[in-house]
Amino acid sequence: MGIRPGGKMAIRPALKLRWHKTTIRWLGKIPWLNLLIILALLFILAFSLSEAYWVRNSPPLFFFALIAVFSGWVLGLTRWRIGWCSVYSLLMAVALGVQYVGRIVPMGNEIPLHGWIETMNWQIFVFIERMNGWNQSIQLGKAIYDDGYWTLMLIVLVWLVSAWLAVCLKRHKNTWMALLPLIGAIAFTLQNQQKDVVFLLVALFFGLILVADQFYSRLHTSWKQRQVDFPEQLWVDWTAAVVVISVLVLIIASLAPAVTTREGWHHIRRWMDELKNPKISTVMDNGSGEYNYRPSNGDDEELLLLQPWDLSFVGAPLPKKNGTVMWVRVGDSTPRPWRMAVYNTYTGKGWTEAELDPQSVQVGIDSMQQGRRALVQRFTLFRAAEGRLFAAAEPVQSLRDGVQIVRLDNEDSHVVIGYVQQYELISMVPQVSADVLRNAAGGIPDEILEEYLQYPETLPQRVRNLADRLVEDEPTNYEKVIRIQNYIRQVVPYDLESPPAAEGQDVVDYFLFEAPSGFCSYYASAMAILLRVESIPARVVTGYAPGVYVIEQGNFEVTGDLAHAWVEVYFSGYGWIPFEPTPSQEVPYYASSVPLEKKESETPATSIQQASRRLMLLRIIIGFLIGMVFVWICWLLWRIFRNRQREKKMALHPVAMEYRRLRLKLAGVGISAPPMKTPQEFLQEASGLLTNYPHIQKTLRLCTDLYERTVYSPVLPGLSEMNTLRMSIHQAVKEGWLLRWRYLWERFLIKFRMKRKWLILTKS
């Protein structure tokens, strides 16, 4: 029997038509009106909470609300009680909120495998410290300034409200009960923030439509089941009436405060007086119909550009200018930051600049310093210099008249002062290695210890705890510096638009434990204070980042967007050595993390490659597991949906439906019977196998009796008997899980023994 020519071509249109009909049927089953109303309500909730400014950087609440609605819809498909659904939603909300606030699981691709788990460990430690701070504030009755706490609360609130709405609507609960938490959250937010009630009125409008739609849907279903004749276009009249009534109710509600309160009547009288006696404006304009605005005269842009950076408030925007700031010609292409100012005293919210000693001017190089070499620099500034100038590391000698090397007060460190646009000078730049700094030994001058170990007594204890834990296993100051530098570079994302700390909050504590991101002044401040806590002299310096080395000209081109702050650490015998805690900049060659002992067979490149491969393998395994879990969840949802569709087509009585489900579950654990056996015969056989499971045995007996009455008796079971059956099924859930695990374990043992016997037979 052959295939008719063109048969395959004829199949394709048929499949396409069938797919098209299936798609149309599925789209027709989606309650689009309910879906759009739910999206509108979620948007109003997320927008009102975001506009309430509970936190400075609001999380993506609408995104969390959408995920919560999907989670609630899935929970609505299960047979969990609504209380357990709420507990599960709470756990999910807390887990996602903790991940969003604490960044427990690092998401960056640049973190190697050996640092991924360690970073997660540190994030857990930091989050626990934050929680301790929240707990202390609550116990003392103080306000919690940590945005992370309120962000977590907002995520949990939005998740619970959205999931509750989805679960209640999916299970056809009372619509007002589903809407009450959402409307209440919107009303509380608007009342607390003294906002306009427009959002609340709009939410009530959509809520009334949703209530009416749900009520009409239930009536429509009931009419169809009872075969009541009604016009198909009744929903049009129903919808129009609902919209009109909702609008009238909301208008009356919005006008109620104006006519029922003394303040409302006062506003009405004032409005009537203004209508009778309109006010005439005495302000004259220029005839153009527009207001003229002239900004206040500020300092000259050039003066601002070359003045020391004001660090009195860490978190203030960087002094950013467009275009090229300067060219720097040096004898090599090694990138170095160009220092302008030094800061020594930390106030809790910022830094004060170190005082200068104008009477002590450096005129030349006294002697070569250990671990340093002389570097000649030529600076060409593209702005008029009005005060401070730049230098690499430690300036020691000026090669241009009008440029002075001025010593800091009570310390052998210098800055450059002058009023020129082009100058040359000599600096002593570090020429050290990691081993040299690791082995640095000797005493540190008392004036350095007194000046650069300072931090306020109000520094929070969790900052000190973090510093102690970071360096507890490090043997030398160099290892401690590297450990703190690397931690700070990894722990907080870099962002120039980072929000500042709250009023009265320690800025380093805020950056290390609460800030969503930061920039160079945050990173430098945190590193300096952590080092000072560990009795390592450190200071913050500002200037400009190295810039781009132009090979053709032999110059570094430094642009106005490279204003920068970094850290200098004092090492005995070598003086102040720069370090780089900001992740947007490269660390100096001597500041990379180098292990104390290297294995001869392992090179750094090999270690990096192995770490990258291990990280890739770990991500592949995790991705595979997540994919398997996702497929399993989809399979479960498909089974649930398929069974529900079959049950709807069967149109069985609720008792018959429960009996069918119970038989299917027992068949899944190996307890089944052929179709010719009666329910009572199956009950007798199954009772012998369920001796150790009394709740299941009791439930099966009760369900069998009610099922036989439903099928064979004209007297159907009552509502109380059905509730008793549901309660019995709920009590048997725990035993059902035990029976399931026992069945799987026995099957595993049987297969294991069979395989073992087969191996023995093959060997013999």
**pLDDT tens sequence across 59-112:** 889 999 999 999 998 888 887 888 888 899 999 999 999 998 888 887 655 555
For residues 68 and 88, what is the distance between their CA atoms, to the nearest angstrom? Answer: 11
8-state DSSP, 578: E
Locate the DSSP E strands across 102-154. Answer: none
Question: Which is higher by pLDDT, 236 or 590?
Answer: 590
Q: Is the pTM of this model over 0.85?
A: no
Residue 478 confidence (pLDDT): 92
Can you list the positions of beta strands (E) in 85-137?
A: none
In the numeric block, the tokens 């119970």 are attached to: 662
Tell me the C-alpha distance between 573 and 556, whole Å.
Answer: 30
Name the residue among 577, 540, 516 with its Cα closest to residue 455: 540
**DSSP structure string for 667-706:** HTTT----TTS-HHHHHHHHHHHTTT-HHHHHHHHHHHHH
Mean pLDDT of the chain: 78
For the cut 80, the answer to whether the pLDDT of residue 594 exceeds it is: no
Confidence of residue 674 (pLDDT cuts 50, 70, 90): confident
Mean pLDDT of 759-763: 75
pLDDT at 602 over 50: no
Least confident segment among 62-76, 205-219, 465-479: 205-219
For residue 582, the model assigns a pLDDT of 93
Percent of the chain whose predicted confidence (pLDDT) is above 70 = 76
Residue that wins the pLDDT comparison between 108 and 519: 519
The predicted model gives 181-191 an average pLDDT of 83
**Residue-level pLDDT at 90:** 92
Residue 593 has pLDDT above 60, yes or no: no
User: Binning pLDDT at 50, 70 and 90, where does residue 606 land?
Assistant: very low
CA distance 131 to 149: 8
Backbone angles phi, psi at 142, to 5 degrees: -95, 160
Give pLDDT tens digits for 342-398: 999 999 999 999 888 777 766 566 556 778 888 899 999 887 666 789 999 899 888
Report yes or no: 29 and 124 within 8 Å, Cβ to Cβ.
no
When pLDDT is averaged across residues 571-579 and rounded to a whole number, the result is: 91
Of the spans 39-48, 273-282, 284-293, 628-637, which averages the highest pLDDT? 39-48
364 φ, ψ to 5°?
180, 180
Q: Is 313 helix (H, G, I), strand (E, B) or coil?
A: coil
Q: Is the pLDDT of residue 1 over 80?
A: no
Segment 489-513, tens digit of pLDDT: 888 888 888 888 888 889 999 999 8
Q: Where are the beta strands (DSSP E) in 431-574?
A: 538-544, 548-550, 555-559, 563-571
Query: Which one is predicted more confidently, 711 or 233?
Result: 711
**Cα gap 76→382, rounded to integer Å:** 67
**Beta strand pairing status for 555-559 and 548-550?**
antiparallel
Of residues 412 and 256, the one with the higher pLDDT is 412
pLDDT bracket for residue 23 (50, 70, 90): low
Select the more confidently predicted residue: 217 or 504: 504
Position 484 scores a pLDDT of 92
| DSSP 8-class letter at 617 | H
DSSP-assigned letter for residue 572: T
CA dist., res. 582 & res. 563, Å (int): 12
Chain position carrying tokens 């959205």: 162
The C-alpha R_g of the chain, in whole angstroms, comes to 37
The amino acid present at 395, given as its one-letter code, is P
Q: Which two tokens stand for residue 530?
A: 């952590």
